[in-house]
Structure 1
Amino acid sequence: MNSVAANSAIVLLFILIGGFFAAAEMALVSLRESQIRKLEQRGRRGARVAKLAQDPNRFLSAVQIGVTVATMLSAAFGADRLAGELEPTLVSWGLPRGLAQPVALVLVTLAISYLSLVLGELAPKRLARQRAEGLSLVVAPFLDRLASLSRPVIWALSKSTDGVVKLLGGNPHADREEMTTEELRDMVVGHTDLTADERHLIAEVFSAGKRQLREVMLPRTEVEFMEADTPLAEAAVLAATLPHSRFPVYRGSYDEIAGFVHVRDLLDPVLTGQIEPISRLVPIRPVKFVPASKRLLTTLSEMRDEGHHLAIVVDEYGGTAGIVTLEDLVEELIGDIRDEYDIEEPPVPLPAGEVELDGLTNLNDFAAQTGINLPNGPYETLGGFVLAGLGHLAAVGEKVEIPGFDLTVTELDGRRISRVRVKRRTLIESPPEPDS
C-alpha cells in the first residue's frame, strides 16, 4: 500500500509540473499590450516578463517541452508501476489473469488522463487567465533561464518542424492570418463588459472608418457662400439671419475659395453700417481644403489637431464640391447635436407605411431610418438615387420603384430633389366588389 501511495504521489507530481508549465504559458500569452507596458515599468522582474511576452517563440517552445515531458513521464511511470499494482486486485475480483493486465493498463491510463486534463490543463489555465499579471511575475525568471538552457533543443526542434512543414507543402516562415477589421469589430462590439451605448459608439467608429467625405459633406448647392466684395452691412444682415458661425468667402466663383469669415467679425459693433467690402474690413481666415475621397476619421483627426472647424471639400477636377465642419464629423459618430439655433422641421403626418425624407439624406442614414438598403452607384444621397433611377431631371410626382416600395418626388429645390416620400407598395390588390 505504501508503494502504491508513493507511486501515485510521483505521478501526481509529474501532472502538477505539467500544470505549472500550462499555467505559465497561459499567463504570458493572455497579457494585453497595456499590461505588458505596465509590467515593464515594475523593475527587473517586470522587464523580464515584458521581454518574454514580446518574444513568444522564445518561451513557447521551452514550455511545450516541459508540458510534453511531464505528461509523458506521468503516463509512462503510472502505466509501469500503478498498472502492475492494480493487476492482482483485478485477478482477485475474478478477472482472468490474461485479461487483467490490459484492463489494468487501460484503467490507469484513463485515470491519469483525467487528472492530467483537470489538474494539468484546465484548472491551471483558468486560474492563470484570472491572475495573468501576478503569475507572470512569478514564472518569468524560471522560464527565462529554461529558455536559455533549452536553446540547443529548441533549435533542433525548430529545424525539424520546418522540414516537416516544407515536406507537407507549407511555408515554415508564414504566420497566421491577421485579424480582419470585421473580426475585430465583432469582438469589441460583442464584449459583455461594455454598455449598449459604448458598443454603439464603437460600431459607429468602425463604420465611419470606411466612409468618405463625399458621403457626409454639405453639397455646394446648400452652402451659404459670401463673395469677397460683398458690402459688410449686407453680409452682416445675412449672417444675422442664418444659424452659422462661419461662411466660406470666394472670389469670382465658388471654385475660388479665399478663406472664411467668422460671424463675430461681421457683427462687430465698431463696424456696424459699413458698406466697404468684407475683404477690406474683416479678416479672411485661412481654410482647410480636403479631397472628397478622404476618409472621415482621418479628416476628423486632422481638423482637431490643426484647430480647423471648417473645411472645403474639393472634387477630382479641383472644384468646390461642398463643405464639412468639425461638428458634422463628430455627429457621424455620436448622432445629431442640436442647440437652440437648430431649426427642427415639424413632422408631417403621413399614412401608415409612409415616411418623407430629405433628398440629401445619405444612403447609410436612409438605411438606418427605413431598414431599406439601396444599391451602391454614382450617387451618395436618396435624391441622387431617385435621379439615377429616373434617368432625367425629376418632376414632382414622379416615382422610382424598388422591391416592395415606391420612392416619390414630393418637392424640388430648383432642379434638386429636396423631398422624397417612401411608401410601402401593396402587394395584393383588393378584389373588386361584385355587382349587386
Structure 2
Amino acid sequence: MDADTLVNFLLVLFFVLLGGVFAGTEMALVSLRESQVRRMEKAGKHGARIASLAGNPNRFLSTVQIGVTLSGFFSAAYGASTLAPDVEPLLEAAGFGAAAEPVAFIGMTLLVAYLSLVLGELVPKRLAMQSAVGFSRVLAPPLHVLSNLMRPAVWVLSVSTDAVVRLFGGDPRATQESVGLEELRDMVAQSDTLEDESRDILTDVFGARNRSLQEVMRPRTEVAFIDGGLTVAEARELARNGPFSRYPVTGRSPDEVLGFVHIRDLMPGNGTDDTAPVRTIVREILPLPGTNKVMPTLSRMRRLGHHIALVVDEYGGTDGIVTLEDLVEELVGEIYDEYDAGTDHEDSVTVGDGSVDVDGGLILQEFESACGFALPEGQYETVAGFMMDRLGRLPHVGDRVEALGHVLTVTAMDRLRIARIRVTPTPT
C-alpha cells in the first residue's frame, strides 16, 4: 500500500469518525431528560449553553445533519472511487481478471458503508445513550460554536422544517412528550438504581394519589368517642386506659362531633376544672368529605397544623376519623409505637395450611397484597363490604362466597360487623 492509498484511507476513516461525533452529539442531546437539562442549566454558563442548545431542537438537529451530510459526502469522495484503483491490481493478481475493477469498486463501497454504519452511527449513538450528560458536556459546546458559524444555513433548514411540520399538523415549538404517570410508575418499578425501600415508598405514593379518605379512615364503629357531657375527670379516666392521644368529643350522637380533646388537656395541673364538662375544653376538629384524596388532604392538614380530621358523608353524618399518621402511613408504610401492636387491620393477617385469615376491615388494596388476587370493585371499600354485597344480607358465621378461584368464609362476627374471614383456594 503506497502513501497515497494510506492517506486516502485515513481521510475516509477521519470523515467517518467525524460523522460519528455528530451522530453521538445528536443522540446525547435527544436522550437528555428534562431534569438533567435543568441541572446543567443551573451549573453555570457552560451548562446554560448546553441547555439552550438542547431546548432548540431545530438548531441542533439542523447543525448535526449538516455535519453528518458533509462528513458522508467527503467520506464517499475519498472512498470507493479513490481506494478502488489501488485495490484493483491486488484483485487482478488474485485471478479476478476483468472483474477486478467492479469487484474492487463494490468491495470498497461496502467497506466504507460498513465503517459508516458501525463507527459513524451505531457505536457513537450507543455510547451517547449510555452517557448522555458526559457526551453533551464534551461535544455540545463545539456544536454550539458550529451552529453559530453556520447560522444562515441553520436558519434556512429550521424555517423549512417548521413549514413541513405544520403541513403535517405538528407543532414546531414542541420538543418531546412529557413523562406520564403510568410511564413514571413503570420507570420506578424497573429502576436498578433505587433501593427496595425507596421503590416501595414511591410505589405507595403513586397508589395514594387515587386513594380517598373513605379507604384509609378509621370508621366510626371503631372510633373511641368521648361524650361531651362527661366531666374532665371522667374523660381523663377513659383516656388513661386508651391507646390514643386525641379523642373526638360528641354531643347527643356520634353524628354531632363538637371537636376533640388532646390527652394533655385532661391532665390535672393545667388549670382545668375537673368538674367542668369536657365539651367546654374541646379543640376545633377539621371536617373533610370522605371523597377527598389522600395527597391533597395530607398537604392541607400539614399546612393548617391539624393532626386529626373528621370524615363526613354526603348527608353530613360522621363517617369516621383520619389522622395525619394514617395519611403518612399510606406513603411510607405502617408506623408502629408501643400501642399499635395488633390494632391495624393489615396487622391481622395470618397464613396457614394454604389459607389466609384476614380482618374483615381490610380495604381492597390491602386484601390484594395479603392474598395475592384482587376482588372486583363495587360500592364497598373493604373485604367485608364485598361479602355483604355478594350475600345481599347481613352475614353469619359460616357464610361462604366464591371469588376468582377462592372461597371466602366468615369465621367471626363482631355484632353486625364481619370480624374475620378465611380465604382458601377452591378445591380442584
In which range does the TM-score fall when normalised by the shorter chain?
0.7 to 0.9
Closer, same or farther in 2 for the Cα pair 1:340/1:378, shift >3 Å? same
Give the equivalent residue in structure 2 for 1:219. Answer: 219
Tell me the alpha carbon deviations over residues 254-280 of structure 1, each in whole angstroms, 9 at most, x when there is no partner: 344333211111123456881211132
> Is 247-256 or 304-313 further displaced after alignment?
247-256
Closer, same or farther in 2 for the Cα pair 1:131/1:425, shift >3 Å? closer
How many residue pairs are counted as aligned between the two chains?
Answer: 423
Is 1:339–2:340 an aligned residue pair? no
Q: Which runs of 5+ in 1 are unaligned?
A: 428-436
Amino acid at match of 1:81: T
1:418 deviates by: 2.2
Give the equivalent residue in structure 1 for 2:379. Answer: 378
Give the equivalent residue in structure 2 for 1:395. Answer: 396
Q: 1:333 & 1:93 partners in 2: Cα distance?
A: 75
1:189 deviates by: 1.9
1:140 deviates by: 3.5
Tell me the alpha carbon deviations over residues 120-162 of structure 1, each in whole angstroms, 9 at most, x when there is no partner: 2344345545654454344344322333444443454455556
On the 8 A contact 1:78/1:109 being kept in 2, the answer is yes
Is 1:322–2:307 an aligned residue pair? no
Give the equivalent residue in structure 1 for 2:74. Answer: 73
Amino acid at match of 2:266: L
Closer, same or farther in 2 for the Cα pair 1:347/1:419, shift >3 Å? closer
Give the equivalent residue in structure 2 for 1:183. Answer: 183
Give the equivalent residue in structure 2 for 1:59. Answer: 60
Amino acid at match of 2:323: T
Is 1:48–2:49 an aligned residue pair? yes
Give the equivalent residue in structure 2 for 1:406. Answer: 407
1:94 deviates by: 1.6
Give the equivalent residue in structure 2 for 1:432. Answer: none
Matches within 5 A, 1:395-434: 395-427=396-428
Q: 1:109 & 1:252 partners in 2: Cα distance?
A: 94
On the 8 A contact 1:233/1:272 being kept in 2, the answer is no
Q: 1:165 & 1:50 partners in 2: Cα distance?
A: 23
Amino acid at match of 2:234: E
Matches within 5 A, 1:7-406: 7-97=8-98, 99-129=99-129, 132-133=132-133, 135-158=135-158, 160-161=160-161, 171=170, 173=172, 178-270=178-270, 274-280=274-280, 282=281, 284-344=282-342, 352-406=353-407
> Is 143-152 or 58-67 further displaced after alignment?
143-152
On the 8 A contact 1:58/1:147 being kept in 2, the answer is yes
Tell me the alpha carbon deviations over residues 350-408 of structure 1, each in whole angstroms, 9 at most, x when there is no partner: 86233322111001111111112100000000110011011112223222222432222
Amino acid at match of 1:317: Y
On the 8 A contact 1:189/1:202 being kept in 2, the answer is no
Q: 1:314 & 1:232 partners in 2: Cα distance?
A: 26
Structure 2 length-normalised TM:
0.88
Closer, same or farther in 2 for the Cα pair 1:110/1:144, shift >3 Å? same
Tell me the alpha carbon deviations over residues 394-425 of structure 1, each in whole angstroms, 9 at most, x when there is no partner: 22322222243222223333322222222333
On the 8 A contact 2:349/2:359 being kept in 1, the answer is no
Structure 1 length-normalised TM:
0.86
> Is 207-216 or 238-247 further displaced after alignment?
207-216
Q: 1:374 & 1:105 partners in 2: Cα distance?
A: 69
Closer, same or farther in 2 for the Cα pair 1:357/1:6, shift >3 Å? same
Q: 2:368 & 2:42 partners in 1: Cα distance?
A: 48
Tell me the alpha carbon deviations over residues 205-244 of structure 1, each in whole angstroms, 9 at most, x when there is no partner: 2222222222111112211223433321221111111101
> Is 185-194 or 19-28 further displaced after alignment?
19-28
1:12 deviates by: 1.6
Question: Over aligned residues, Cα RMSD in angstroms?
Answer: 2.9
Q: 1:351 & 1:123 partners in 2: Cα distance?
A: 55
Q: Which runs of 5+ in 2 are unaligned?
A: none
Identity among equivalent pairs (%): 50
> Is 27-36 or 377-386 further displaced after alignment?
27-36
On the 8 A contact 2:311/2:322 being kept in 1, the answer is yes
**Residue 301 of structure 2: SS of its match in structure 1?**
helix
**Residue 6 of structure 1: SS of its match in structure 2?**
helix
**Residue 341 of structure 1: SS of its match in structure 2?**
coil
On the 8 A contact 1:405/1:425 being kept in 2, the answer is yes
